[in-house]
Chain A
Amino acid sequence: MVKPYKIFLLVVLVFSLAALPSLFFPKDGIKVFTKILRFPNISELLGVDTASNQQLLDPNLKNLDRLVDSTMSTLQIINFSPNLKIDTTSNPDTTKAVDSTAISKITADILRSRLSRIEFPDSNKNSLVQFFESLKNKLYNKKPIRVLHYGDSQIEGDRITSYIRARLQAKFGGRGVGLVPALPQSSQPTGVMQTSSSNWERVTLADHGKNLSGISRYGALGGYSMYTQSRTLFSKSTNEAWIEIQRFGNENLTARNFERLNLYYGFNTKPFILELNIDGKANDAEIMPASNSLKTLTWDLDKAVNTFLLKFKGEESPLVFGLSLESAKGILVDNIPIRGSSGTDFTKTDMDFTKDMLQVLNAKLIILQFGVNVVPNVVENYRYYENQLYNQLKAFLTAAPDASIILIGVSDVSRKEGLHYTSYPNIEKIRDAQRNAAHRAGVAFWDCFKAMGGKNSMAAWENATPPLATKDFIHFTYRGANLIAEMFYSAMMYEYEKYLLDKGRTNKQIAAQSDTLLISTPLIRN
């Protein structure tokens, strides 16, 4: 018979023996070939170490997260009746609609406590002026103005962008998800269901150099699509392709209720036939002549119609740079993820062409959000990255003289050291390189890493309930993406309100147009 005291002695013996090697081996382990072997020490064995070192989310951030969550669903469904004026100050109905929603629940106090401000370069304190002026002068009432949000996989699936869009459209009007490629991305934005024939191929600028076509015109979406692989696959025969767009989801979603479809294409040496089917009925077939530049086609869409099918017929595919689902007025916000990119590939492309397209699109703000792809490769010095980014920003400044540019810095990425998750050691260096690049180029910068809570914040975001980041310790969940987007949005609106104040608007006038009311609370002044 085995008596309990023997088992007790056994457990104690096993623990002591297990802890013994840690007395003789270094804490960080020993290297055997390529692997590091570590020996548990007594505090790790007793579990006291892990218990006290868990990363916890800042309580203010947690409160903000809850409010953002309740706001998001309301924001998406603010229903603009068709004849409603978009200006919030002059139309009591919209003001009421906005005020009565949960937006007003996001109190200035919580936002202020977490406000991570936009940093402006010394050389250009007014670097968001183009965007702010277009808002102040209500240019969006004549034709829609655009915000293009470029990023890596961090924004895939309309993450972050969708929230910024919902916020801006609730305030300044506008509908639809904006630009989408011909070949739908793996994760689609809410409000739309897009399908395409299987012969579409898409080339993005992240593939640049790998594709043999030699085409370097990628346009504003950083990629183009074709339905004939080598452009003329079966030289004599006619090729056909289609793209179908359906309104999808809740009837009140602003993203769903787009009223206009634009097609951006060009560079076809042979004519092709384009046909728009509406709810399955053929409509509007036209022969498009050969072209050597960017062409835009626009269709006004009936809100009652749900399904739109674009049919292409012709032996050579034009380059299709994208479609836009949009409204006739207001703000459009485009989600442009380029997976695997560090944001340094734009200059490899034909920026003159990008310039043409940005002009046509009426771009007023360009947001660039990159950095996580630089993280896994740890080096001493990030001067090279700073220089590369600087060149991109300069190129964008030339390509979009009428738009403001803002760079969003790298988000925190964790790795495991021993039993704990800690930030990669190079995050701050990368962030600094990005900030320097922005400041040298005269472009605004927003520090995402700082907004998250700085060092080791990713572990806390992942650890939050519900989680704000996924288990790869790199990407935000939708919830986390909304939270970071709210922080960015409020930082931007803070600057906008400040801008208006500087331009002689009174607090009262601003308050009438504001949903965050950051400025009119007296505590903030720098």
Chain B
Amino acid sequence: MFDFWQHITHIFTYYENRPIIFTEFSFWVFFSILLFGYSFIYQKHFLRTIYLLLFSFFFYYKSSGLFFVLLIFATICDYTAGILIASSNKKWARKLFVGISVSINLGVLSYFKYAYFFTNSINSIFGTHFEVVNYLSLWTNQLLGSHFDSSTIILPVGISFYTFQTISYTVDIYRRKLEPLKNILDFAFYVSFFPQLVAGPIVRAAEFVPQIYRKFALSWAEFSHAYFLILNGLIKKMLISDYISINFVDRVFDNPLSYSGFENLTATYGYALQIYCDFSGYTDIAIGVALLLGFRLPINFNSPYKAVNITDFWHRWHISLSSWLRDYLYIPLGGNRKGKIRSYINLMITMLLGGLWHGANIRFVIWGGIHGVSLAIHKVWTSIFPSNKTKKLHWKKFVAGFITFQIVCLSWIFFRSAEMSKVKDMFGQIYYHFGAESIFSAIFNQPIIYGLIALGFTTHWLPTSFKESYRGIFIKSSLVFKIVATLIIIFVIFQFKASEIQPFIYFRF
């Protein structure tokens, strides 16, 4: 009995590095408890909102502890800003309020995300010795006598995502595309709805808010689709992404010089697969979970490595982010309405800042830069050789897709490496020590890894019609079939999770 209570307190305590995530079994306990209560109230709008809001708050508290306060703060600020913008008739007043709202949002985001980046940059440029102080902890300690560490700043979970959501809300009201929400609880629910809170997709208020007032409806086909997405996401994340990262990709990126150029190159491709499976797997589950509760979230990935050019890639990769950047950064900068040169500059600014959004490091800026330059080159290319959309030869598509994929993978090296020196090491290994003679031994030493990478990419590159057909089969299948399939998948995933770490490639270190 004692043990039981210990578990209960575990559940309600915040642990650093122990958030509730979809791939932990504990999430599904959380979700089933939620569903149980939901069964009683799902038909009453107001109760439903309050209920899901409370669970979402709990979910965020488990991920972030104290930073919970920031979420509330952002909610109150932007709710107020929304009302103020809508109720002002003067243009300058609307501008002022939207300006304040965006500044607060970006200010908080920059402080938590970029304080180190900017202080270090300033210190290294001007030789100063500024130090970063965590004011949130400092103030809390002064107020409550607590002992949070104020000498370091930790990035609050999901802040990049919900900040973009709240910005889109106030800006849309300013653009008169959206009416402000009457009830702050509805707004809080939109900001903190747990399936998309931590890692997206970035949902627009215009898409989400109407659903709050709609009646719960979930057809058998929708249910089956959600079920499919969740299983698909679990396989992507836990079977492919987690396994190849811990047993291969992380090791190579940690220590590029210990591996041949071939292994460095395949680790880069492996990482391309890993990050796709990780991220899209997570959003698949988010979309599925939200759908089971009766909420529809936008699609976020559409087989991105099938892209035949870099513009196409950004129409398929993290779609909710790229469309956000287009609507709230590229277009306000002037988009392509101010001439060619300006549109290239705007594109570049958008991609560089988009890179910085992913993390406070020059590596992410370079990553954005590679994409920005590639997008610009593609723009120039299409203006010189306008493509004939009706007739596209297969080999041309293949070559274009191949080049696009290589560029994207090149950019991933910067994205993933822990530091710039490692990037240099990887290029050095690939260029100078490719190790063509040891290709076969490298593959046969890690058959499961190379097999999984091959399997992952093959599935990814299957024709959409084929993927649709097996999704259709699953949707039409009986519940018993679905349950059996789930059990098999759980069992296989568990074997991978519980399997030993694969031995080091050469067994000699």
Q: A-side interface residues toward B, CB under 8 Å?
A: 1-5, 7-8, 10-15, 17-18, 29, 35, 37-40, 44-48, 50-52, 54, 152-154, 156-157, 186-187, 339-340, 372-373, 376, 414-419, 421, 465, 470-475, 477
> Is there contact, CB below 8 Å, between B495 and A4?
no
> Is there contact, CB below 8 Å, between A17 and B483?
yes
Bound Cα distance A22, B486 (Å) = 17
- The residue in chain B whose Cβ has the minimal distance to the Cβ of A418 is B498
A-B pairs with beta carbons under 8 Å apart, 26 shown: A1-B220, A2-B218, A2-B219, A2-B223, A4-B39, A4-B42, A7-B35, A7-B292, A8-B32, A17-B483, A38-B494, A38-B495, A44-B25, A46-B7, A46-B25, A46-B29, A51-B15, A54-B17, A152-B509, A153-B509, A187-B425, A373-B509, A414-B501, A415-B500, A472-B509, A473-B501
> Is there contact, CB below 8 Å, between A416 and B35?
no
Which A residues touch B32, using CB under 8 A? Answer: 8, 11-12, 15
Beyond known contacts A14-B487, A15-B32, A340-B509: 12 more, CB 8 A cutoff:
A2-B218, A5-B35, A5-B36, A8-B32, A10-B479, A11-B28, A18-B491, A40-B490, A376-B503, A415-B500, A416-B499, A417-B500
> Is there contact, CB below 8 Å, between A153 and B258?
yes
The secondary structure that dominates the B interface is helix
Interface residues on chain B, size class: 35 or more
Which A residues touch B220, using CB under 8 A? Answer: 1-2
Which B residues touch A416, using CB under 8 A? Answer: 498-501
B251 is an interface residue with CB less than 8 A from chain A: yes
B18 is an interface residue with CB less than 8 A from chain A: yes
- The residue in chain A whose Cβ has the minimal distance to the Cβ of B250 is A471
Bound Cα distance A48, B222 (Å) = 32
Nearest Cβ distance between residue A443 and chain B, in whole angstroms? 24
B246 is an interface residue with CB less than 8 A from chain A: yes
Q: How many A-B pairs with Cβ below 8 Å?
A: 139
- The residue in chain B whose Cβ has the minimal distance to the Cβ of A38 is B498
Bound Cα distance A394, B508 (Å) = 25
> Is there contact, CB below 8 Å, between B255 and A1?
no
Nearest Cβ distance between residue A200 and chain B, in whole angstroms? 13
- A13-B483, A47-B25 known; A37 and B257 CB under 8 Å? no
Q: Ordered nearest first, which 3 A-B pairs have the shortest CB separation?
A: A47-B26, A340-B508, A5-B39
Give the residue of A1, A29, A470 whose beta carbon is less than 8 angstroms from that of B254: A470
- The residue in chain A whose Cβ has the minimal distance to the Cβ of B253 is A471
Which A residues touch B483, using CB under 8 A? Answer: 10, 13-14, 17
Give the residue of B31, B38, B255 whose beta carbon is less than 8 angstroms from that of A475: B255
Nearest Cβ distance between residue A226 and chain B, in whole angstroms? 19
Nearest Cβ distance between residue B5 and chain A, in whole angstroms? 12
Bound Cα distance A285, B29 (Å) = 78
Which B residues touch A15, using CB under 8 A? Answer: 28, 32
- The residue in chain B whose Cβ has the minimal distance to the Cβ of A471 is B250
- The residue in chain A whose Cβ has the minimal distance to the Cβ of B222 is A2
Bound Cα distance A5, B38 (Å) = 8
Q: Mark B463-500, 1 if CB is under 8 A from A, else 0.
A: 00000000000000001000100110011001101111
B506 is an interface residue with CB less than 8 A from chain A: yes
Which B residues touch A14, using CB under 8 A? Answer: 483, 486-487, 490
- The residue in chain A whose Cβ has the minimal distance to the Cβ of B246 is A471
- A4-B35, A48-B7 known; A187 and B498 CB under 8 Å? no
> Is there contact, CB below 8 Å, between A47 and B257?
no
- A5-B35, A470-B251 known; A376 and B507 CB under 8 Å? yes
> Is there contact, CB below 8 Å, between A470 and B255?
yes
> Is there contact, CB below 8 Å, between A8 and B36?
yes
> Is there contact, CB below 8 Å, between B509 and A339?
yes
- A51-B10, A154-B509 known; A11 and B490 CB under 8 Å? no
Give the residue of B7, B25, B26, B251 whose beta carbon is less than 8 angstroms from that of A472: B251
> Is there contact, CB below 8 Å, between A419 and B38?
no
B213 is an interface residue with CB less than 8 A from chain A: no
Which A residues touch B250, using CB under 8 A? Answer: 470-471
> Is there contact, CB below 8 Å, between A1 and B217?
yes
Bound Cα distance A203, B501 (Å) = 32
- The residue in chain B whose Cβ has the minimal distance to the Cβ of A11 is B32
Which B residues touch A373, using CB under 8 A? Answer: 508-509
Nearest Cβ distance between residue B94 and chain A, in whole angstroms? 41
- The residue in chain B whose Cβ has the minimal distance to the Cβ of A18 is B490
Nearest Cβ distance between residue B252 and chain A, in whole angstroms? 10
Give the residue of B29, B35, B258 whose beta carbon is less than 8 angstroms from that of A186: B258
